[in-house]
Amino acid sequence: MIAESGHYALVLAFGLALIQSTVPMLGARWREYSLMNVARSTAVAQLMFVAASFAALVTLHVSSDFSVVNVFENSHSMKPLIYKITGVWGNHEGSMLLWVSILALFGGLVAIFGNNLPMSLRAHVLAAQAWIASAFYLFILTTSNPFLRIARPPIEGQDLNPVLQDIGLAVHPPMLYLGYVGFSISFSFAVAALIEGRIDAAWARWVRPWTLVAWIFLTTGIAMGSYWAYYELGWGGWWFWDPVENASLMPWLAGTALLHSLVVMEKRNALKVWTILLSILTFSLSLLGTFLVRSGVLTSVHAFANDPRRGVFILLILCIFIGGSLSLYALRASSLKQGGLFAPISREGALVLNNLFLTTACATVFVGTLYPLALEVLTGEKISVGAPFFNLTFGPLFVPLLVALPFGPLLAWKRGDLLGAAQRLMAAGIAAFLALAVVWAWTRGGSTLAPLAIGLAVFVIAGAVIDIVERIGLFRLPPSIALQRARGLPRSAWGTMFAHAGIGIALIGIVCETTWNSENIKTMKAGDVASVAGYDLKLESLTPRQGPNYREMAAKFSVLVDGQAIATMTPSKRSFTTRGSTTTEAALLSRGASQLYISLGDIGADGAIAVRIYHKPLVLLIWFGPVLMAFGGILSLSDRRLRVGAPKPAKSLRGLQAAE
């Protein structure tokens, strides 16, 4: 009954989306306000029905109703409750349902909070949003229905893939989807602007907070996924340039570029046409990511060809939306007026440079991810593109970008003073040089690139701080006045500082982890001691344990520094009974921002166990950086400007519109 209701709610949501995608468009064309207003009620109703459908699937999973195929294939009655819930999106059908739920959520939010949007713009935005929704509802209903029943229900389920039974992966997909799908808003706004042939700074002011929200979620989602891979997959890697990761990195790069070009558009009314294009591209890359992950094309081109129903459907959605929006862009972009002029050396110029490098980086990831697929389809030749390729092509792009980064916020709009900015950055330069020298001396030879990279990171961080110091006049003015100024400074300025410093901090983590990572791989018996980076790790015992739906072999290590025990670590190896697979539960011990990392290998015939112990210096900074960036985004989102920008009461605006 619940499954059928869920299915039915989804069909109703599809019907509502169809109405939402047509009626408001006609209303906007005929200037009929009652028809335009349909968008709003249908968006909210659609959200309610999708939410009901999603709730139904969650209920089925929680109650372990194995008469539903999706629950049978991905759940087990002994699974802990939290993983019963998160198992809902740990599979194809459920994750697509989550995708449309989030899409409906964003549509509903625009409908609810978009009171002060011009009527026709809101109608167009919600209609465009409903086109996307309709396509995906149809996809779910025809190829990936999560509510299918089994004729003869089995008594036990097949359990969820054990590596997915982890809190990190429970939160990671919703975060990522909130980011991916959040960019649909800027896409819909871009399409609406193209249809209306009108775009101005107010448009950018509307789009920016939505883009920022999506960007914050995507940033945290990617960071969380990376941390999950780091501790769950058991060898301490945190980024693999895997196509699935690249699929999330591409919209992030394009979205970051979009955020910056929106600043130019909002403040200076320039770069309009480019911003529209970037909005379209960002969401197109999100769709591409969905296609790559969901069609199975990545595992093998042949697997895709053998069961092409889903893949071809998403490919079709991809082509229609990307092709359609780009054609619309080609037709209408020229009707948008170009805005203000600026000199190459200016804040605008710096932001354009940022866009150039970020989009090139995005193109690099794009070609690296899709080239092997394209080559195989065209010539049948199989090649691999992996980390060494990206390190050579993607990495160097960030050097000029990061060198230029601190200059951006210090340049004036329209025409900036590069020499003046350089003088103000002198302190950051000195700090960077000192850091470089200290690291160089400390590591005595070794890698030459690493100290340079650390210097660059320090330059970025110090540059970000100097911007604020300059603006509040710290050290120049009496502290009380500086404090007053600091309070008066827009939150978005603080947001910029945190986000930019976050990049530098993440870079330090990346460089330290990859350069000065030390490891000790050996077989150990109880009582053996292994040492790494000044720590002695003694294997105390090896004990089997029984978990709710797995058995595990746990090793207990004491960590000793100069003979003093400071902590114990218990890595384990889990065997999941139902699926017959194992996972490695690494043990992590944080020492400041550095970590000790132990993962277990196999047990030999003599009872000795293979152990891999890593010391990863400053590794936590890799994720602390993105957290800072997201925090900067939140600060920026809470900026007064964005709150003040929205206060006009809806009624008066509607009155104005009616008089038009």
Partner 1 sequence: MSLKRALLALTIAMTMATASHAVQPDEIMSDAAKESRARELSRELRCMVCQNQSIDDSEAPLARDLRLLVRERIAAGDSDAQVIDFLVARYGEFVLLKPRLNSHTWVLWFLTPLALAAGGIALWLNGRRRARSVAEQQTATPRLTPEEEARINQLIAAEQAPES
Which residues make up the interface to partner 1 (CB under 8 A)? Answer: 234-235, 237, 240-244, 298-299, 338, 341, 344, 352, 356-357, 359-360, 363-364, 367-368, 371, 375, 379, 381-389, 392-394, 397, 521-523, 544, 546, 551-553, 573, 575, 581-582, 584, 599, 601-603, 607, 610, 612
- Indicate the residue among 238 and 631 with the shorter CB distance to partner 1: 238
- Indicate the residue among 55 and 375 with the shorter CB distance to partner 1: 375
d(CA 90, CA 578): 17
Q: Helix, strand, or coil here: 585?
A: strand
H-helix or E-strand spanning residue 544 = strand 535-546
Dihedral sign for Cα 65, 70, 75, 81, please. Answer: negative
Tokens of 402: 């990061």
In the chain, the N- to C-terminal Cα span, in Å, equals 51
Q: Which residue has the tokens 């004729």?
A: 151
- Indicate the residue among 484 and 523 with the shorter CB distance to partner 1: 523
d(CA 481, CA 470): 13
Tokens of 589: 């011990």
**Closest approach of partner 1 to the CB of residue 301, in Å:** 13
**Closest approach of partner 1 to the CB of residue 425, in Å:** 23
**Closest approach of partner 1 to the CB of residue 57, in Å:** 28
**Closest approach of partner 1 to the CB of residue 487, in Å:** 38
**Closest approach of partner 1 to the CB of residue 607, in Å:** 8
- Indicate the residue among 202 and 356 with the shorter CB distance to partner 1: 356
**Closest approach of partner 1 to the CB of residue 584, in Å:** 7
**394 φψ region: left (φ > 0), alpha (ψ -120 to 50), beta (else):** alpha
In angstroms, the Cα distances linking 226 to 117, 164, 167, 510 are 38, 14, 13, 12
**Closest approach of partner 1 to the CB of residue 54, in Å:** 29
**Closest approach of partner 1 to the CB of residue 507, in Å:** 20
Parallel, antiparallel, or unpaired: how do β-strands 587-591 and 581-585 relate? Answer: unpaired
Counting Cα atoms < 13 Å in the Cβ hemisphere of 297 gives: 26
- Indicate the residue among 423 and 518 with the shorter CB distance to partner 1: 518
Contact assessment for residue 385 and residue 369, using Cβ atoms and an 8 Å cutoff: yes
- Indicate the residue among 22 and 360 with the shorter CB distance to partner 1: 360
Residue 582's DSSP bridge partners are: 575
**Closest approach of partner 1 to the CB of residue 394, in Å:** 8
- Indicate the residue among 189 and 357 with the shorter CB distance to partner 1: 357
Q: Which residue has the tokens 């890799």?
A: 622
The phi and psi torsions of 597 (rounded to 5 degrees) equal: -140, 120
- Indicate the residue among 163 and 465 with the shorter CB distance to partner 1: 163
**Which ranges of 80-200 would DSSP assign to H, the alpha helix?**
81-86, 92-113, 119-143, 167-196
**Closest approach of partner 1 to the CB of residue 547, in Å:** 12
- Indicate the residue among 309 and 382 with the shorter CB distance to partner 1: 382
Q: Helix, strand, or coil here: 446?
A: coil
- Indicate the residue among 66 and 550 with the shorter CB distance to partner 1: 550
**Which ranges of 333-386 would DSSP assign to H, the alpha helix?**
347-379
d(CA 330, CA 313): 25
